[in-house]
Amino acid sequence: MEKQVVDYMLVPTGLLIMVAYHIWLFYQVIKHPSRTVIGINAINRRFWVRAMMEDASKTGVLAVQTLRNNIMASTLLASTAIMLSSLIALLMSNSGSSRSAGRFVFGDRSELGFSIKFFSILVCFLIAFLFNVQSIRYYSHASILINVPLKKMTLHDHHHCHSGHLTPEYVGRTVNRGSYFWSLGLRAFYFSFPLFLWIFGPIPMFISCLVLVFLLYFLDVTFDFGWVASAAEDDDHHHGEDEENNTG
């Protein structure tokens, strides 16, 4: 019973640290995008889409090749996730593996405990698979939209008074959504690592949560607070004001 108490204390604490960090990261991406790598990449992707759509006849091949590389990266992660899901499902069906691993575990060694651990890892990999599939979906849409002849379409809309013409902002949001889903799928892989160590006990799981949050902080936060980051944030702020004025 004392060993199960360790699970009840350390496992929720480790997961809470991981969730709290990502809530803080989400707040930073929304409020201060130029302070995070995700935010800066999103701003620069909008600039890239706008540059690619200015002359699709010259930059169309480059744009499609870039999006194709992103699709290949998402496909690789999706394939890895579904393969690992099959492996975890196989381990769950093999009851002898939990008994052999229980010799090295300090904590809950019950069959129910091992089933919960394996099921948690399985859920992480399935979520990673779904997120990466959505990433492929948005990148596939963007690969077509980014090659639309924007100048000809704008002239056509002026003659026929259409208001729903394609804009670089819309294509940029589509590309960013694909990247966001790819990042979420990668985060699901990150979450699976502490859950995998949970098989060997709550102490390795809790330590891995602390180490992972420490490493993710240096990967997610940018320390370049120069004029580039400030200019990017100012442009993002003015872009939001222009959208509000247009909608108003």
| Adjacent-strand bridge partners of 36 | 221
53 or 46, greater pLDDT: 46
Amino acid at 183: S
- The per-residue pLDDT of the chain, averaged, comes to 80
* Residue 208 neighbours by CB under 8 Å, 6+ apart: 14, 193, 194, 197
Structure tokens belonging to residue 64: 């499609």
pLDDT by residue (tens digit) across 170-202? 999 999 999 999 999 999 999 999 998 888 888
- Rounded Cα–Cα distance for residues 156 and 167 (Å): 14
The listed range with the strongest mean pLDDT (139-153, 155-169, 219-233) is 139-153
In this predicted structure, the answer to whether residue 140 has a pLDDT above a threshold of 90 is yes
pLDDT by residue (tens digit) across 62-110? 888 999 999 999 999 999 999 988 888 877 766 555 555 555 566 566 7
Q: How is the chain split into domains, by residue range?
A: 56-152+165-197
pLDDT of amino acid 68: 92
Long-range contacts of 106-109 (CB under 8 A, 24+ apart): 106/3, 106/6, 106/201, 106/202, 106/203, 107/3, 107/4, 107/6, 107/7, 107/201, 107/202, 107/203, 108/3, 108/4, 108/7, 109/3
- Residue that has been written with the tokens 């909608």 in this structure: 247
176 or 61, greater pLDDT: 176
Question: HSE (CB half, 13 Å, CA atoms) of 79?
Answer: 6
Mean pLDDT of the region 135-148: 90
Instruction: Identify the CA nearest to 24 among candidates 12, 9, 38, 6.
Output: 38
DSSP for 169-204, written as a single string: HHHHHHHHHHHHHHHHHHHHHHHHHHHHHGGG-HHH
